[in-house]
Structure 1
Amino acid sequence: MIENKPPLWTRNFIGISISNFFLFMTFYFLLVTIPIYVVDHLNGEKSQAGLMITIFLISAILIRPFSGRWIEKYGSRMILLCSLIVFFAASLLYFLADSVEVLFLVRFIHGIGFGMATTAAGSIAATTIPDSRRGEGMGYFILSSNFAMVIGPFLGLTALHSWGITTMLQIAVAAAFFGLLSGLLINIKEEKKEDRKLVPMNWKDAIFEIKAVPVALAGAFFAIVYSSILSFVSVYAGEIGLSHVASFFFVVYAVVLLLSRPFTGKWYDLHGPNFIVYPAIILFAAGMLILGTAQSAIFFLAAAAFAGLGWGTLFPTFQTIAIQASPPKRAAMATATFLSIFDIGIGLGSFLVGLAAAKISLGDLYTYSTGYILAGILLYYFLQGHKLKREKKKEVNAA
């Protein structure tokens, strides 16, 4: 018998995935180029270059709780378009940033647009994906940002070194524009404005979704290790004499994600989150162990494959759990809560890894992180896993 599944690849789902891709491509594009621009072109200090990332993330984190509330009041499409306009306008302001101080302001504004847009995009994706295909759909949606993580840094560094700062900024503007254009193509049915009344709530409910917090904390715990890959894997490749393959790390990471996504998403929907999470944690730990001990290109890229299969599966799974654990009308706030806490983990991780890297080698740091990740199995179980296990038993008994 042929199983009739509700459609996943609708116009709105494709549109929000493309918009999300360009949004994150601009983010990663500038993530690797702005620090170089600050030091080499604005004569700034390395500490100031690092602050460019911190300021961007701080403004994104601060705006997300308000974004979730605004989405509940005005609708996700309205907030998405407003945020994409802010994001696009901020990308134009880089041409006017002729000092470090002005660039700080531009980064803060850009972070506001990014924080609002990612919250709205996640909310739209959650509402356009059929419930029966939630795991599969969220996996594909987040894959769009994974691809951006590969293309953005490669294109950014190529543009900066080969074509100059002006062309680099023009490409960033073009990417932000295509993100806005894709957002304009989205047409979702939402409650009429007069029917969309906010339910009175205390201040805690107004700024975050409490039911999304446990899994968000688990995500932030693992994000601390993931930040070490984002920040230092290229540096580490140079230290072990593998600079020539450093650019392929995230390519392998993305290819493994693409090949595994059809299976992991469907397994989530069939067997539940725990069936995916525990193996993914072990694969992530294995990837870090291989990375920390790698002395050849084969093992270095094998680490990318294991990390891609492990962390690349954990992140969309955690975000999907956060959304499903919350009431349907609180999907936007659940998304905002999850991403805000996750970004705190990334920011904290970048800071802690920087301190640790000054004391021990990156190889040892990656190796030791294996134990940290495995300890996360217990953390996840107590924060979220045991609850999902009970729910799965109830479903089986009811059936």
Structure 2
Amino acid sequence: MNNKEPLWTKDFVLICILNLLVFTSFYFLLPTLPIFVTDVLKGDESQVGYIIGILTLMAVAVRPLSGFLIDAVGRKQIFFLALLFYVISMAGYIFVTSLVLLFLLRFVHGAAWGFATTSAGTVVADLVPASRRGEGMGYYGLSNTVAMAVGPVLALTIINQVDFNLLFTSALALSILGFLCMFGISYPVSSKKSNKFTFSLESFYEPRVLSLSLMLFFITFGYGGIVSFITIYAKDLNIDNPGMFFFAYAVILLFVRPYAGKVFDSQGPFKIMAIGFIAIIISFIILFLAGGMSYYVLSAVFLGIGFGIVHPTAVAMAINRVEPFRRGAANATIFSAFDLGIGLGSILLGYLSKAAGLPFMYLSCGIIILIPLWLFYNKIIPEYYSETDIKT
């Protein structure tokens, strides 16, 4: 207790900076690609859904393989290749001239994204001292949140003031800087590779967290409607700066996540998750009723409260239910469901918005949240509290 193991080492700082740069480049595209598809490539809302969703679905498809290769081949080699292909895919956006080319590029980008994020998460888990893992992973996660706050605002400013060429070039530059950070990281020799690798199904997923994963799938299904269409909806509402949604959402996350974690540790998930579910439902109802900037930003605030509670609490509950040597599989299962929800949500909600309009689509998302709410209190909570030995 007197001598804490060092956390802010050169390697930890570099992986956090790398993560910040890569995620910022990713968030440069998240709010702007829907506008690029509709305004430049002349696509419609269903095509926006496919363009956004296919990346996430590709990331889901490669995550199990990426986890296997990271352990079998080595962190350094897979991380290098993943970031290299990520940089190449970012460069590809500069040359996109049609929806077909963009769709094909999103396949490559999705695979690179799945490998890169899985590799980075594994590397940082190796670098953080075991005695400070929760603290270290928390700080590492904040780099994602900061990227979410600044990326969309900067990106939307660039396309409003200049053009998409500068946007794609800037995103490429950020990804290259992140790639360069990788060369300064010293990989711990303790990142062991096992001599035995099997291809059994349970090597790639954890059955004890399937109910939590299903809950997150329905939660992020609605979130797919946010990432794909919120900037288009802002145009319908005559909002000049749609990036304010992502900025407000990220700022609220910064405050809510630590508070939610403390409540979960001291009181359990029962009450805090109720607040999270209700906040998400309110967020979608506000979007349905939105008529201008105030409702638009207020929806982001409630969404930040909801996701700031539900997502980290679900991950903590999953980790509590498995032994330490199964945490990788548990995380892979949880985050695959997270990505799958966004991917399918983006595609299917694109059809719904085209048929019924964006306000009705967002109201439908609020109704869908009743499914994971029911699942949590009728299946997950009884399972969780029936565990006689929560794993450490």
Same fold (TM over 0.5): yes
| Structure 1 unaligned spans of 5+ | none
Tell me the residue number matched to 1:309: 305
Are the equivalent residues in 1 in contact too, given 2:221–2:344 (CA < 8 A)? yes
Aligned residue pair count: 390
- SS of the aligned residue for 1:243 comes to coil
Q: Structure 1 residues 88, 368: CA separation in 2 closer, same or farther (over 3 Å shift)? A: closer
Are the equivalent residues in 2 in contact too, given 1:23–1:114 (CA < 8 A)? no
Code of the residue aligned with 1:256 in structure 2: it is I
1:198 is aligned, of 190, 196, 206, to 196
Q: Structure 1 residues 372, 100: CA separation in 2 closer, same or farther (over 3 Å shift)? A: closer
Code of the residue aligned with 1:196 in structure 2: it is S
Tell me the residue number matched to 1:387: 383
Mapping 1:78-117, distance limit 5 Å:
78-97=77-96, 100-117=99-116
Once residues 378 and 132 of structure 1 are traced to their aligned partners in structure 2, the CA distance between those partners, rounded to angstroms, is: 36
User: Shift in Å at residue 28 of structure 1?
Assistant: 2.5
Code of the residue aligned with 1:63 in structure 2: it is V
State the percentage of identical aligned residues.
35
Q: What TM-score, normalized by structure 1, do the two folds share? A: 0.82
1:19 and 2:15 equivalent? Answer: no
Are the equivalent residues in 2 in contact too, given 1:61–1:340 (CA < 8 A)? yes
Q: Structure 1 residues 147, 161: CA separation in 2 closer, same or farther (over 3 Å shift)? A: same
Q: C-alpha offsets along residues 49-95 of structure 1, whole Å, 9 cap, x if unaligned?
A: 55433332332222111001112223444432321122112223334
Of residues 322-331 and 39-48 in structure 1, the stretch that sits farther from structure 2 once superposed is 39-48
| Structure 2 unaligned spans of 5+ | none
Tell me the residue number matched to 1:284: 280
Tell me the residue number matched to 1:222: 219
Of residues 114-123 and 132-141 in structure 1, the stretch that sits farther from structure 2 once superposed is 132-141
Are the equivalent residues in 1 in contact too, given 2:20–2:147 (CA < 8 A)? yes
Are the equivalent residues in 2 in contact too, given 1:224–1:348 (CA < 8 A)? yes
Code of the residue aligned with 1:93 in structure 2: it is G
Q: Structure 1 residues 169, 352: CA separation in 2 closer, same or farther (over 3 Å shift)? A: closer
- SS of the aligned residue for 2:242 comes to helix
Once residues 6 and 266 of structure 1 are traced to their aligned partners in structure 2, the CA distance between those partners, rounded to angstroms, is: 23
Q: Structure 1 residues 47, 286: CA separation in 2 closer, same or farther (over 3 Å shift)? A: closer
1:235 and 2:243 equivalent? Answer: no
Q: Structure 1 residues 317, 80: CA separation in 2 closer, same or farther (over 3 Å shift)? A: farther
2:332 is aligned, of 313, 330, 336, to 336
- SS of the aligned residue for 1:236 comes to helix
Mapping 1:144-155, distance limit 5 Å:
144-155=143-154
Are the equivalent residues in 2 in contact too, given 1:223–1:342 (CA < 8 A)? yes
Q: Structure 1 residues 89, 383: CA separation in 2 closer, same or farther (over 3 Å shift)? A: farther
Tell me the residue number matched to 1:259: 255
Are the equivalent residues in 1 in contact too, given 2:6–2:129 (CA < 8 A)? yes
Once residues 291 and 47 of structure 1 are traced to their aligned partners in structure 2, the CA distance between those partners, rounded to angstroms, is: 20
Tell me the residue number matched to 1:121: 120
Of residues 104-113 and 33-42 in structure 1, the stretch that sits farther from structure 2 once superposed is 33-42
Tell me the residue number matched to 1:293: 289
Q: C-alpha offsets along residues 332-369 of structure 1, whole Å, 9 cap, x if unaligned?
A: 44333322222211122122322332444533443454
Once residues 244 and 129 of structure 2 are traced to their aligned partners in structure 1, the CA distance between those partners, rounded to angstroms, is: 35
User: Shift in Å at residue 379 of structure 1?
Assistant: 0.8
Mapping 1:165-184, distance limit 5 Å:
165-184=164-183
Are the equivalent residues in 1 in contact too, given 2:256–2:308 (CA < 8 A)? no
Once residues 238 and 44 of structure 2 are traced to their aligned partners in structure 1, the CA distance between those partners, rounded to angstroms, is: 28
Q: C-alpha offsets along residues 250-301 of structure 1, whole Å, 9 cap, x if unaligned?
A: 2111111122333223333444455543322222223333333344544432
Of residues 165-174 and 353-362 in structure 1, the stretch that sits farther from structure 2 once superposed is 353-362
1:65 and 2:80 equivalent? Answer: no
Once residues 307 and 27 of structure 2 are traced to their aligned partners in structure 1, the CA distance between those partners, rounded to angstroms, is: 18
User: Shift in Å at residue 115 of structure 1?
Assistant: 0.5
Tell me the residue number matched to 1:363: 359
- SS of the aligned residue for 2:195 comes to coil
Once residues 230 and 64 of structure 1 are traced to their aligned partners in structure 2, the CA distance between those partners, rounded to angstroms, is: 21
Are the equivalent residues in 2 in contact too, given 1:234–1:243 (CA < 8 A)? no
- SS of the aligned residue for 1:235 comes to helix
Of residues 218-227 and 26-35 in structure 1, the stretch that sits farther from structure 2 once superposed is 26-35
Once residues 171 and 108 of structure 2 are traced to their aligned partners in structure 1, the CA distance between those partners, rounded to angstroms, is: 15
Of residues 38-47 and 295-304 in structure 1, the stretch that sits farther from structure 2 once superposed is 38-47
Q: C-alpha offsets along residues 362-388 of structure 1, whole Å, 9 cap, x if unaligned?
A: 334434543432442221234533233
Are the equivalent residues in 1 in contact too, given 2:50–2:346 (CA < 8 A)? no
Once residues 40 and 284 of structure 2 are traced to their aligned partners in structure 1, the CA distance between those partners, rounded to angstroms, is: 35
Once residues 268 and 3 of structure 1 are traced to their aligned partners in structure 2, the CA distance between those partners, rounded to angstroms, is: 27
Of residues 308-317 and 361-370 in structure 1, the stretch that sits farther from structure 2 once superposed is 361-370
Are the equivalent residues in 2 in contact too, given 1:289–1:370 (CA < 8 A)? yes
Q: What TM-score, normalized by structure 2, do the two folds share? A: 0.83
1:346 and 2:345 equivalent? Answer: no
Tell me the residue number matched to 1:187: 186
Q: C-alpha offsets along residues 299-334 of structure 1, whole Å, 9 cap, x if unaligned?
A: 432222121011133223333444454443444443
